[in-house]
Structure 1
Amino acid sequence: MNVLWYMCAPDGAYPWNAEGSRRVDYGYFRQLAQAYDHLGYTGALFATGAHDVWVLAAALLPYTERLKFLIAIHPGLVPVTLLGKMAATLQDFSRGRVMINVVSGDAKMLGAYGMTMPHDERYVMADEYLTIWHRLMRGESVTHEGKYLSVTGAKLALPAGSAIAPPPLWFGGSSEPAIEVAAKHVDTYLSWGETPEQMRLKVEQVKRRAAAYERELSYGIRLYVIVRNTDAEAWEAAQWLYDRMGEDAIAANQRFVGGTDSVGQQRMSAMHGGVKPANIRDLETAPNLWSGIGLVRPGPGTAIVGSPDTVIRTLEAYQAAGIETFILSGMPLLEEAYRFGELVLPRLPVERQLRDAKQFTWSTLFDRDLSAGKLPAA
């Protein structure tokens, strides 16, 4: 099992409102990176948001030792040869800790960057883009004249003869064209917070498509987590968040995601319909899975809610459906990374490269001082 945490602004106790938002700057990002590294998470997702992911990842690299960096890219926004050079450089400097998350986005977001392709056409372009990417990463000299891309004599110096493998590709997308691109090109297929049964069906669908290319993929999911010592306490924490989801915040988010051509976002929005019922449990889409966060946050809006035992059972249900990788987060990122990292992560079958350090308690310090004769015996 791979477990990654989230690295993206905004953040805070309930960051859809100004009073619930936290100041996010370089110092705070350093805290996050060092915490994830210290706790033993597999990596962090550098998602598209307020900060440029490549600048952010490069800036945090010196503060980590083992953490892998999953960096989001949009095919076509950066020339493929330049992207290859950027990725190869960071892969070299990080000693192989870079992974690339291929995100096709939606028309609204891409339009801000000057890309106006229709939904299905974006995936045709992505197919061409990733075909060139693979050739560059193999160290080939590439001349290509296609429908969307043209390169002449493109070649990367770093991959050719390098002992470090090219960054693996991760990919999310629920439409038929997206699944076709994933089956053909990527290493890990990602989905947003659907139920274990929905994920089982999706994994089977992608597996069939990948088999046509004689390929095998791994599978992952992006979820929130609200974990507390008991199920009751976890649902109380979810209720606390729910009580702070005002009409204005819900309406603003629904305007933002409304009319999207992203099939994944459409599937997330269908879980709650943009409506806040009186009973929080009315948004429980499967046992211990709550879609309420999707009311106020775009993208994956599903949270696992429960005690450590409940969270682990839910993760195991996803495992049984074929999921190997979990990209998780809570609010605020720092505190919830520690909470999950101490209550749940040590009990998961995750390869954790932890420092050789002792765990101290007040009693161990007291016993040490007593044995050294520094404290009087009772």
Structure 2
Amino acid sequence: MSRNAFSAIKPLQKPYIPLYFGGASGPAVQVGAKHSNVYALWGEPIAVVKERIAEVRAALPSGRSVSFSVSLRPILGATEQQAWEKAHSILVRIQELRGGAKISAPARPQAVGSQRLLDFAAKNEVYDKRLWTPIAAATGSAGNTTALVGTPEQVAEDLVDYYDAGVTTLLIRGFDPLEDAIAYGQQM
């Protein structure tokens, strides 16, 4: 880590640019608790997110605090059934792009967060009300791969559940960035 680093460009509204940090390993928790302003989590079941928040808070040096962010991929439909149909069509497309059964399962990733998502996907397809995990399994959990599936109102309710668990920043992105951004802006 660089010491005494600075930028000549300063943010307009704050005395600093918040530092986001993520990582699920023990060392990552220690570094993030010590240096970040916002600790970033992937979409995991609510109870697990609460445990992760408690773990990071326990590692905070005296006098420090952090906020928490969670990354999810909402899959919306006008009805819940339409949302699930869309989710399954996204999964099929991913599997087709990966070559279906012709390609062996992706190697187990080294990243602890990715390993956690794969473990969740191996145990259940759906957690809480609509946290969906099969895309994590299909991609080897290469990044933000869990989704909230439902109507805009249902997904918004689930996002509130993350807020109630202690998350203050929600990073949402879709599988079709432009179309999903428009839908999120208009419907959620």
Shorter-chain TM-score tier: 0.7 to 0.9
In the aligned structure 2, how far is the partner of 1:191 from the partner of 1:259? 19
Are 1:136 and 2:5 counterparts? Answer: yes
* Off by >4 Å, runs of 4+ in structure 1: 249-253
C-alpha deviation, 1:253, in angstroms: 8.2
Greater RCO, 1 or 2 (C-alpha within 8 Å, sep 6+): 2
Are 1:176 and 2:26 counterparts? Answer: yes
- The answer to whether the 8 Å contact 2:11/2:17 transfers is no
What does 1:227-266 correspond to in 2, within 5 Å?
Answer: 227-244=76-93, 245-246=95-96, 248-249=99-100, 252=103, 254-255=105-106, 258-266=107-115
Return the letter of the residue paired with 1:305: V
Q: Secondary structure at the residue paired with 2:121?
A: coil
In the aligned structure 1, how far is the partner of 2:105 from the partner of 2:128? 23
Return the letter of the residue paired with 1:190: A
Q: 1:220 maps to what in 2? A: 69
Q: What is the TM-score when the length of structure 1 is the normalising length?
A: 0.45
Are 1:294 and 2:136 counterparts? Answer: yes
Q: Deviations over 1:237-291 (max 9, x none)?
A: 1122233324735775842xx2432111110111223x9xxxxxx5112211101
Are 1:285 and 2:154 counterparts? Answer: no
In the aligned structure 1, how far is the partner of 2:101 from the partner of 2:70? 24
Shift in alpha-carbon separation, 1:301–1:253, aligned structure 2, 3 A: farther
Q: Which of residues 24, 44, 66 in structure 2 aligns to 1:194?
A: 44
In the aligned structure 1, how far is the partner of 2:137 from the partner of 2:103? 10
C-alpha deviation, 1:195, in angstroms: 1.1
Is there any run of 5+ residues in structure 1 with no aligned partner, and where?
1-128, 138-155, 276-281, 345-378
Shift in alpha-carbon separation, 1:249–1:328, aligned structure 2, 3 A: farther
Is there any run of 5+ residues in structure 2 with no aligned partner, and where?
none
- The answer to whether the 8 Å contact 2:132/2:149 transfers is yes
Q: Secondary structure at the residue paired with 1:136?
A: coil
Q: 1:316 maps to what in 2? A: 160
In the aligned structure 2, how far is the partner of 1:303 from the partner of 1:217? 25
What is the root-mean-square deviation of aligned Cα atoms in Å?
A: 2.3
In the aligned structure 2, how far is the partner of 1:167 from the partner of 1:339? 29
Shift in alpha-carbon separation, 1:301–1:251, aligned structure 2, 3 A: farther
- The answer to whether the 8 Å contact 1:269/1:294 transfers is yes
In the aligned structure 1, how far is the partner of 2:102 from the partner of 2:162? 31
Q: Deviations over 1:78-136 (max 9, x none)?
A: xxxxxxxxxxxxxxxxxxxxxxxxxxxxxxxxxxxxxxxxxxxxxxxxxxx05x1xx32
C-alpha deviation, 1:187, in angstroms: 0.4
In the aligned structure 1, how far is the partner of 2:21 from the partner of 2:163? 19
In the aligned structure 2, how far is the partner of 1:225 from the partner of 1:195? 15
Shift in alpha-carbon separation, 1:163–1:272, aligned structure 2, 3 A: closer
In the aligned structure 2, how far is the partner of 1:163 from the partner of 1:241? 39
Q: What is the TM-score when the length of structure 2 is the normalising length?
A: 0.86
Q: 1:109 maps to what in 2? A: none
In the aligned structure 2, how far is the partner of 1:193 from the partner of 1:253? 25
Q: Deviations over 1:126-159 (max 9, x none)?
A: xxx05x1xx323xxxxxxxxxxxxxxxxxx6x16
Q: 2:53 maps to what in 1? A: 203
Q: Which of residues 176, 182, 187 in structure 2 aligns to 1:332?
A: 176
- The answer to whether the 8 Å contact 1:250/1:295 transfers is no
**Identity among equivalent pairs (%):** 28
Return the letter of the residue paired with 1:248: G
Shift in alpha-carbon separation, 1:218–1:229, aligned structure 2, 3 A: same
Larger Rg: 1
C-alpha deviation, 1:163, in angstroms: 7.1
- The answer to whether the 8 Å contact 1:304/1:311 transfers is yes
What does 1:38-49 correspond to in 2, within 5 Å?
Answer: none
Shift in alpha-carbon separation, 1:287–1:267, aligned structure 2, 3 A: same
